[in-house]
Amino acid sequence: MSDPAAFAPGAAPRVELLRVGRDRHPVLILDGLLTGAETLVDFAAETAVLAPVKAAVNFYPGVRAPAPPGYVQALVTALRPYLAETFGIAPGGKAHITCALSMATLPADQATFAQRLPHIDTTSPIQLAILHYLCGPPHGGTAFYRHRATGFEAVAPDRAQTYLAALREEMAAEEKRDHSPDQEGYVVASNALFEQTAVVAPAFNRIVVYASNLLHAGVLPDRPASADPRHGRLTANTFFRPEIA
């Protein structure tokens, strides 16, 4: 699995560009960009050690393991032309890249309120999230949101203080309410705090790319279907941050 040749470029990938929200943020969808997705599922099931994420490090509601280096290299190489065209990323530029195989396995009643809400991965406007579905329907897709109180769909550094202050106040108020509908499960649609602006459906070997500072959330069932990588909501999650000279 360390050999990038295990993941060859797809013969004719399907490419779609969405513009989501009022600000028309780009969301890139690629189907069949790479071959070898089935091999990656086998690796997750037979070799990878999927372990819970420490709350102090990440709010991800499930388990993760490092992705094989060969996959990461092949993925980034295949994506480079599309990242350049859609996001203006220099085709040969250096970047900081992390990648993990991930499974959302935490039941909603065991997740914190913050884990059940839409979130951002960083306030950096240049970091991209690359989500590779290694599962398909009926597992949930990825949804994008607008925070009602601030109107923010993306949270850049100059918005972070305003957004976090408003969210903390709202969360404190929600947590005081008994049996609030917004507390009972994962957010999968618009609610009192967030308006859903778009949903990307899951499909096996589908890759979705978007700015990491967009408010987003997995469309997760309150009770995960399976903890088996061959039957559960398995994805490969990559963060790609170009180095600024």
pTM: 0.94
Task: For residue 141, give Cα distances in angstroms to 108, 128, 201, 216.
Answer: 17, 18, 4, 11
Under the banding of pLDDT at 50, 70 and 90, the label for residue 95 is very high
Amino acid at 50: L
Among 2.60.120.620, 3.40.50.720, 2.130.10.10, 2.40.10.230, what is the CATH number of 4-242?
Answer: 2.60.120.620
Q: Which of 31, 39, 44 is nearest to 234 (CA)?
A: 44
Q: What is the pLDDT of residue 91?
A: 85
Q: What is the mean pLDDT of residues 227-245?
A: 93
Under the banding of pLDDT at 50, 70 and 90, the label for residue 57 is low
Average pLDDT, the chain: 92
Q: What is the pLDDT of residue 114?
A: 87
CA atoms within 13 A on the CB side of 98: 7
Q: What is the mean pLDDT of residues 21-38?
A: 97
Under the banding of pLDDT at 50, 70 and 90, the label for residue 181 is very low
Q: What is the pLDDT of residue 59?
A: 82
Domain ranges of the chain: 4-242
